[in-house]
Amino acid sequence: MEVKDIVLAVIMVIGGLAFFLYGMNVMSSGLEKMAGGKMEQALKKLTSNWFLSLLLGTGITIVLQSSSSLTVMLVGLVNCGVMEVSQTVLVIIGANIGTTFTTWLLCLMGVDTGGPLWMSLLNPEYFSLIFALIGAILIMSKSGTRQKDIGNILVGFAVLMYGMVLMKDAVEPLKDSPDFQQLLTRFSNPILGVLVGTIVTGVIQSSAASVGILQTLAESTGTITFSMAIPIIMGQNIGTCVTALISSIGVSKNARKVSMIHIAFNVIGTAVLLTLYELLDMLIGFSFSGWQIDAVGIAIVHTVFNVATMLLLLPFARQLEKLVNILLPDKAPAEKPKKQHTLLDKRLLTTPSVAIAECEDASRRMALLAKDTVLMSLSLLEQYDEKVAKTVYKNEDKLDNFEDRIGSTLVQLSAKALSEHDSQMSSRVLRAIGDFERLGDHAINLAESAKEIHDNDMRFSDGARKEMEILTSALHEILENTYNVYISLDEKDAANIEPLEQVIDYLTRDIKANHVKRLQKGTCTIETGFVLADLLNNYERVSDHCSNIAVSVIETSHNMFETHNYLNKVKFGNKNFNDNFEKFSEKYKIPGMI
């Protein structure tokens, strides 16, 4: 080959690899968007069963088209405190099985095109073009988000296959090159083969792409043998750990253990199986070692290696975790670390649907904290306790942190392509966290009022005290109901929040009016009136934020964002609203005493 031909071939290989990686990214993003937050939910719920954990690791790897991407996700979830290290071991083992899917898909490139038409159309080189046309039509049409996601998957697959075709055409002339033949003889050394597979995969950070390159070389040149391919394939499995290893920089020790498990699994599997293969080959001599290998043969070797590694190490899953604990020992092994949630690890941004699901989970914890903090501040009005007051202040700081971290994460995610479901979830969470944070502010105000009452030994009149007890009961109910609505996302229950909020508004209005009457009678003082006014304003604002949270649940489920129009609609001429308003009005009716 001339220098010109070599340069052009290199450019085609690099371009083909770029198309391959880009197509895989587009395809996996589309699959991930269609899966939504189901992956994150499944990881939390199904990892208690070993068989389901294996299936889960396999399935998610097929969706993400990358075992390293799954490992990065696991690193983030462990770093957040959402998962334990022990829950990730079997998922990682399953991921190595899932990574064989792409290898088998690429085997279709070898389908004979010299036969009948139907057989030629089985070759991705041709049917991927049909996929590209269908995908482009779906993307450009006015169809829904789900259809556009399907279009992206089809177009991504077509681009991936086009990249394979480019690489295939680029390396095909190498089969007649003596220099290339001489270079390949060096790969008869299994150690060198493992190193090459590891380095190439580590550089491009995709075992699917590196295996695809090997399949292309094997198909186009016909000069790759089984004895050359086997060590390279084993090294490729080690190289895929590089991405997870990089992602573990700057995380907790437990999170680093996840990437170490991934590395240990592949290194041990390679060491044992390659040693076993070489020993048996020397003793009995495998007849197939010198045979030429094709794309299907590479897929078979890749699958056999991963399945064999799984069968070899599956019984020692716990020992694998213990080995990693020895390599990364805890500083104080006698003390069991307290499980806690670290807000939203940035590594989850690599899988937007999982990151949004984690944002929603964090917002639920924020909702519980906001509700409990307001209830604490209300308890201070009955009996002031300095320790409880300090907890209210600490919780308010936590709520500020929640809003900052969740909000900044959702803003970063807004720049990414999201499914319709994820987009709605993001809008609802983003709207709700502001109200949760404001609930914390009002809890501080209530705690300050409680301290003022305690320090100045203030006493409300019997009538005012009775009215505030009724109003406080109503506030307790709306807080509890709002929290339950946000957790359950029940639209029917959410519609019942606004009538109670309206009753609380009327109660505060009536209490203010009764206070004026008590002032005129001399049964209340101006000083207590100032404190009472502050309390009533904060009560009313708390109920307003509860209403906002309930409305966000209703609006985002219907993809509408006109709060004032919605509230006007439910307040006027709505039978359900009127019935509930009457019910709550009767339940929290102020007695006639002044």
Q: So what's the pLDDT on residue 339?
A: 45
The answer to whether 37 and 191 are in contact (CB under 8 A) is no
Q: So what's the pLDDT on residue 108?
A: 67
Q: So what's the pLDDT on residue 500?
A: 93
Buried b (16+ CB within 10 A) or exposed e, 103-120: bebbbbbbbeeeeeeeee
- Residue ranges of the chain with pLDDT lower than 70? 1-3, 5-6, 32, 34-48, 65, 80-82, 108-124, 143-144, 171-187, 251, 330-347, 417, 557-573, 592-594
Q: How far is CA 575 from CA 129, 492, 564, 569, 581, in A?
A: 57, 13, 19, 11, 10
User: What pTM does this model have?
Assistant: 0.68
Q: So what's the pLDDT on residue 477?
A: 95
The answer to whether 467 and 401 are in contact (CB under 8 A) is no
**What domains are defined for the chain?**
3-327 (no CATH), 346-587 (1.20.58.220)
CA max distance for the chain: 111
Question: What distance in Å separates the CA atoms of residue 468 and residue 188, rounded to the nearest whole number?
Answer: 86
Alpha-carbon torsion, ordered 341, 347, 351, 353, to 10 deg = 30
Q: So what's the pLDDT on residue 186?
A: 65
Q: So what's the pLDDT on residue 131?
A: 84
Q: So what's the pLDDT on residue 112?
A: 52
